[in-house]
Amino acid sequence: MSKLVSLFCGIIFGIGLVISEMINPEKVLGFLNFFGNWDPSLVFVMIGAIIVFSPMYHLLKNKEKPIFKESFTHLNNKKIDKNLIIGSSLFGIGWGLVGLCPGPAVASLALFNKSSAVFVIAMFVGFYLVKLLDLRTQAR
């Protein structure tokens, strides 16, 4: 059942990206063009998502276990460190260059867009390099 939920959540998430137009990098770049012609839509996407998720999370976070798995995968990392700052900055540069972040990049593969395919392959190479070169622990 958990596998069906994963598929379903992916589908719903993908539909949300299309409705909000965040699947279109041009729309995201409009948000990042804060000092020019600014499109604040992305803020509303985040507000919409957080007003649904946040209250439910805080209401249910102390439950013993989720419905289809044995335990919650709680994230315990609270460190505000070099990794957080350097990583977020690198991500910000890549995001600003093209307007794609991981969610929309993967979802837009469905449109058979060659550019997003190149981006996604490079992104996976990036994921692999972090693992291969152990970048997270080294910077710690």
Partner 1 sequence: MNIVNFTPLSALIGGITIGFAVFLFFIFNGRMTGVSGIASSFLISKNNRIDNLLFLIGLMLGPFFYNFFTKHKIEILITNSLFLLIIAGLLVGLGTRISGGCTSGHGISGMGRFSLRSIIATVIFMAVGILTVFIKNFV
Instruction: Please report how close the Cβ of residue 76 comes to partner 1 at its closest, in angstroms.
Output: 11
Within positions 110 to 129, which residues make up the interface with partner 1, using CB under 8 A? Answer: 110-111, 113, 115-116, 118-129
Indicate the DSSP class of residue 113. Answer: -
Widest Cα–Cα separation across the chain: 49
Binding residues with partner 1: total (CB under 8 A): 117
Q: Is 136 in the site for partner 1 (CB under 8 A)?
A: yes
The answer to whether the CB of 120 falls within 8 A of the CB of 100 is: no
Shortest Å distance, C-beta 138 to partner 1: 10
Q: According to CB under 8 A, which residues from 15 to 74 bind partner 1? A: 15-27, 29-30, 32-54, 56-57, 60-61, 65-69, 71-73
The Cα-based distances of 112 to 17, 102, 107, 118 in angstroms read 16, 16, 10, 11
CA–CA gap between residue 86 and residue 66 (Å, rounded): 33
Question: Contact between 76 and partner 1 (CB under 8 A)?
Answer: no
Answer yes or no whether residue 134 interacts with partner 1 by CB under 8 A.
no
Minimum distance from CB of 113 to partner 1 (Å)? 6
* Minimum gap (Å) between residue 2 Cβ and partner 1: 5
Nearest alpha-carbon partner for 19 in 9, 8, 27, 29? 27
**78 contacts partner 1 (rule: CB under 8 A):** yes
**139: Cβ contacts below 8 Å, ≥ 6 apart:** 81, 82, 83, 86
